[in-house]
A and B are shown apart, each in its own frame.
Chain A
Amino acid sequence: MSTTSAAVGHDHGGDNYLTASHGFRSWFFTLDHKRIGVMYLISILGSFLLGGIFALLIRTELLTPTKTIVDADAYNQVFTLHGAIMIFLFIIPGIPAALGNFVLPIMLGAKDVAFPRLNLLSYHLYVVGALFSVMAILFGSVDTGWTFYTPYSTTTSTNVVAITLGVFILGFSSIFTGLNFIVTIHKMRPEGMGWFNLPLMLWALYATAIIQVLATPVLGITVLMLIVERTLGIGIFDPALGGDPVLFQHFFWFYSHPAVYIMILPAMGVISELISAFSRKTIFGYKAIAYSSVAIAVLSFLVWGHHMFVSGQSSLANMVFSALTFSVSIPSAVKVFNWVATLYKGSIRLDTPMIYALSFIFLFGIGGLTGLFLGALATDVHLHDTYFIVAHFHYVMMGGVLIAFLGGLHYWWPKMFGRMYSEAWGKFAAWLIFVGFNVTFFTQFVMGSKGMPRRYFNYPEEFTSYHVISSAGSYLLAIGFFIVAVYLVHSLVKGPKAPANPWGAATLEWQTSSPPPLHNFTAPPVVGDPYDYSDVVYDPTRGGYVKGERARV
């Protein structure tokens, strides 16, 4: 390891970070945040594929009211693995660890994150955690649902320990990423980069990191207690031993609700970048967006009880949690309002990333507003544990986070790999995913409000048509993702070379070459307003944009 990383640290011979050194070890033991970001990207896309296959199995099974392709036990395992893999291996690390790792130091104008080794350790922990989860699948599987509720999780014969151990390790991976980002943003800002010169993506990543650092340890101790409960029978969550299973729910959601914001906040950061860049207009209400990220992070710790409205919580607690839940909609609405206001009178360009950004606003709007239905105590009793809630969190998690992730991926793809993908295919796939998504999940709102319970294997005949429509939508989604995968891989090989700034954006990462050099900048970047497009002009000789005189240095 020492020679390799030393080589990575020393070698200035290559033109960019991709060609600076070669071989498996030069990647797997690299300390370069860009390579770590790319490795994260590959890993989380692999996880997404796995989770997606499970999703398709679920939807295919639900085509008929009785058994279609798998039996009931296998179905329980499949939806558990779909949830656990998507949440812990894809969505949580998705934007911060993959895209964030790549862009954060460059957007900041730094050479790397504050702790490159910790960053690498975080990735290695991710790999180990993922292996534990895969082991759980291979040996005995898991059928508890991704929430691992006790007492079922302490009594089921499936392999809960392996996957919770995986979650524990993944938690540390997430903590280290968050810790690294906080320190980097605090201490690594170059001359002139004040807090209010930070691109909003960085504000979002900062708010995310706060939650990662403060909430994830609680998940760690929760799953640790669950593991001890299962292996030693310690009795804390076991009613037979005087323990309290609802306490597990409290602990679990004390992390897992903030975790929802670990997922959505960086997505909102991406959208802030995309909306402004593709409207060629200064972001509306910069400070309001920045502070609303922090406000969401703070509020996220105070609303976990809304997952337990029907778990026997006191009605006073229910009312308090319901009121606090509604308050989260204020900073969220501030953001949506500001994005829409940014679009107003902007020179909007409907490139692929922008289509995803607009999809995000639409889908997140639906996902957020249906959250209010669930935050209201009376309607929640009716909608709890139905497909309505499944649709709600898919609108936020998938329609929100995944769409933003895809938008960010398309936006920074030329920066990461120095190649342009096919715009036509990109737009087509973006629309297909948008349509497929709505067909899949809007249907679920309808059947949920009619009373179809979530997680059921068999269902009454009357729901058949809804399930068939929903499954058809999921196949559309699968085709859309397949198209994306094909043209992105194709672009790596055959794509035209990307200019330094293909979109005309003003943040610092577009001032360096595509892909960036090993230490991100050949000359120290000049920090200015990240959303000032007045001096960003198209330069036909470069096939891209340049920012004033400064970029020509």
Chain B
Amino acid sequence: MSHGGKPERPATAPGHPGKPRLGHHYDTYEQQFDSNKLGMWLFLVTEILLFGGLFCAYAVYRAKHPEVFIYAHYFLDVNLGAINTVVLLFSSLTAAWAVRAAQLGQRRLLVALLTITIVCGCGFLGIKGIEYSEKWKHGLLWGKNFDYEALHHGDHTGADDHGEAAESGETADHGTAGVADQATPADPDAALAEGTGPTATGDATATTSSAGEISNIPASAMGPPGLAAAQMVAEGHGSLEDVPRNVHLFFGIYFIMTGLHALHVIVGMVVLLWLLVRASKGEFGTQYFTPVDLGGLYWHLVDVIWIFLFPLLYLIH
């Protein structure tokens, strides 16, 4: 174990188990470790800049269309987002602990911790999948695929919409109705199913009478005070104009940011899986733990990005 896993690989190109003598260009173990660590940090910098472009797009559109962001974010499920935040934070703890375990040569603990981290990753993706499928069901999608009917149901043939709403209301997961934590249990389901999430959050009394005829808009009037956008919404009552223009922009940004993040979660899990395989073979120990260290760093990056995504997308006020 001590020599089989001699640190010879460029840390950022995982997937090629050790070969002898590849570290020939390094003089010392320390030099190699330092190089690998610096390389990994630089790689993380590029990842942050990759997401930086998206955060920049977010900032531009939020500054230009604050009303879109305030209106649209009510359709996201804060509870699920919060659960996912906790799951990822916990997985970061286990990842950091795994590095410690590798350094101390605690092989069984290392394997257990890596496994927990991967399971947490799966949990995160599962919850994300539930959120995505809800959005998909209600047509809350990006750009040209956005279904404005879902927002404007009140102005269209009521009967059809209600039938549909009742149907999907039944199938809707109660967990996903978290947006309406202030409302009565019956309403949020229907409201969500109809795509009237904002109603439910904003004002329970408005929706209690909702057979669907009263649109979501009056409720949104109860949104955060002092924001021009909220007042704009407040001024109109139940007409088409109350849905801000270009709501799909929010969902475009939401999907591209969380989608790219989810992709990074998947990549991170592959890396962790590779570490798990190597760890269970006993390749890591007090002498050699670089891959665990660097894999852990990558996982923390995935975590950190989510820490920024969660408030920016879910907790807009």
Residues of A contacting B255 in the complex (Cβ-Cβ under 8 angstroms): 234
**Complex-state Cα separation, A110 to B23, whole angstroms:** 12
Most chain A C-beta atoms within 10 Å of own C-beta, residue among B12, B49, B51, B144: B49
Asked if A217 contacts B53 (CB within 8 A), the reply is yes
CB distance from B61 to the nearest CB of A (A): 8
Residue B156 at the chain A interface, CB threshold 8 Å: no
Residue B60 at the chain A interface, CB threshold 8 Å: yes
Residue A543 at the chain B interface, CB threshold 8 Å: no
Kindly supply a per-residue 1/0 record for chain B positions 34-64, scoring 1 wherever the CB is within 8 Å of any chain A CB and 0 otherwise.
1100110011011101111110110011001
Asked if B34 contacts A236 (CB within 8 A), the reply is no
Known: A110-B25, A188-B25. A213 touches B246 (CB 8 A): no
Known: A116-B25, A214-B45. A2 touches B57 (CB 8 A): no
Known: A232-B142, A235-B143, A247-B57. A179 touches B43 (CB 8 A): yes
Task: Report which of B19, B43, B253, B256 forms a contact with A6, defined as CB distance below 8 A.
Answer: B19
Task: Report which of A6, A115, A221 forms a contact with B13, defined as CB distance below 8 A.
Answer: A115
The B contact surface, by secondary structure, is: helix
Residue A376 at the chain B interface, CB threshold 8 Å: no
Residue B31 at the chain A interface, CB threshold 8 Å: yes
Task: Report which of B13, B45, B47, B51 forms a contact with A117, defined as CB distance below 8 A.
Answer: B13
CB distance from B31 to the nearest CB of A (A): 6
Residue A182 at the chain B interface, CB threshold 8 Å: yes
**Complex-state Cα separation, A180 to B190, whole angstroms:** 55
Residue A225 at the chain B interface, CB threshold 8 Å: yes
Residue B145 at the chain A interface, CB threshold 8 Å: yes
Asked if A244 contacts B38 (CB within 8 A), the reply is no
Known: A118-B10, A187-B35. A179 touches B46 (CB 8 A): yes
Residues of A contacting B246 in the complex (Cβ-Cβ under 8 angstroms): 235, 241-242
Kindly supply a per-residue 1/0 record for chain B positions 250-262, scoring 1 wherever the CB is within 8 Å of any chain A CB and 0 otherwise.
0011011000100
Residue B16 at the chain A interface, CB threshold 8 Å: yes
Q: Which residue of A lies closest to B248 (CB)?
A: A235
Known: A9-B21, A234-B256, A235-B249. A241 touches B144 (CB 8 A): yes
Known: A213-B42, A238-B143. A31 touches B22 (CB 8 A): yes
Task: Report which of A112, A218, A247 forms a contact with B60, defined as CB distance below 8 A.
Answer: A247
Residue A519 at the chain B interface, CB threshold 8 Å: yes
Task: Report which of A175, A187, A234, A251 forms a contact with B142, defined as CB distance below 8 A.
Answer: A234
Which residues from 397 to 418 on chain A have a C-beta closer than 8 Å to any C-beta of chain B? none
Asked if A233 contacts B45 (CB within 8 A), the reply is no
CB distance from B77 to the nearest CB of A (A): 21
Task: Report which of B13, B20, B49 forms a contact with A217, defined as CB distance below 8 A.
Answer: B49
Residues of B contacting A31 in the complex (Cβ-Cβ under 8 angstroms): 22
Residues of B contacting A490 in the complex (Cβ-Cβ under 8 angstroms): none
Residue A282 at the chain B interface, CB threshold 8 Å: no
Which residues from 1 to 21 on chain B have a C-beta closer than 8 Å to any C-beta of chain A? 9-13, 16, 19-21
Residue B100 at the chain A interface, CB threshold 8 Å: no
Task: Report which of A110, A187, A213, A519 forms a contact with B34, defined as CB distance below 8 A.
Answer: A187
Residue A169 at the chain B interface, CB threshold 8 Å: no
Residues of A contacting B54 in the complex (Cβ-Cβ under 8 angstroms): 221, 225
Asked if B35 contacts A213 (CB within 8 A), the reply is no
**Complex-state Cα separation, A61 to B43, whole angstroms:** 45
CB distance from A444 to the nearest CB of B (A): 34
Residues of B contacting A6 in the complex (Cβ-Cβ under 8 angstroms): 19-21
**Complex-state Cα separation, A222 to B56, whole angstroms:** 11
Q: Which residue of B lies closest to A114 (CB)?
A: B35
Task: Report which of B12, B38, B61, B64 forms a contact with A118, defined as CB distance below 8 A.
Answer: B12
CB distance from B95 to the nearest CB of A (A): 23
Asked if A187 contacts B248 (CB within 8 A), the reply is no
Residues of A contacting B264 in the complex (Cβ-Cβ under 8 angstroms): none
Residues of A contacting B21 in the complex (Cβ-Cβ under 8 angstroms): 6, 9-10
Kindly supply a per-residue 1/0 record for chain A positions 140-182, scoring 1 wherever the CB is within 8 Å of any chain B CB and 0 otherwise.
0000000000000000000000000000000000011001101
Residues of A contacting B260 in the complex (Cβ-Cβ under 8 angstroms): 224
Residue B137 at the chain A interface, CB threshold 8 Å: no
Q: Report the 9 A-B pairs with minimum CB-CB distance, sorted nearest first.
A: A242-B246, A115-B10, A235-B143, A221-B53, A233-B144, A112-B25, A111-B25, A217-B49, A217-B50
* A interface residue numbers (CB < 8 A to B): 2, 5-6, 9-10, 31, 105, 110-118, 121, 175-176, 179-180, 182-183, 186-188, 213-218, 220-222, 224-225, 228-229, 232-236, 238, 241-244, 247, 251, 519
30 contacts between A and B (CB under 8 A): A6-B19, A6-B21, A10-B21, A31-B22, A113-B25, A114-B10, A115-B10, A115-B12, A116-B25, A117-B10, A179-B39, A179-B46, A183-B39, A183-B42, A218-B49, A220-B50, A221-B52, A224-B260, A232-B142, A232-B143, A232-B145, A233-B144, A233-B145, A236-B61, A236-B143, A241-B143, A242-B65, A242-B246, A243-B249, A251-B56
Other 20 A-B pairs with CB < 8 A, given A114-B39, A188-B25, A243-B249: A6-B21, A9-B19, A110-B25, A112-B24, A115-B39, A116-B10, A117-B22, A118-B10, A121-B13, A182-B42, A187-B34, A214-B45, A214-B46, A218-B50, A221-B53, A225-B54, A234-B256, A235-B246, A236-B249, A247-B60
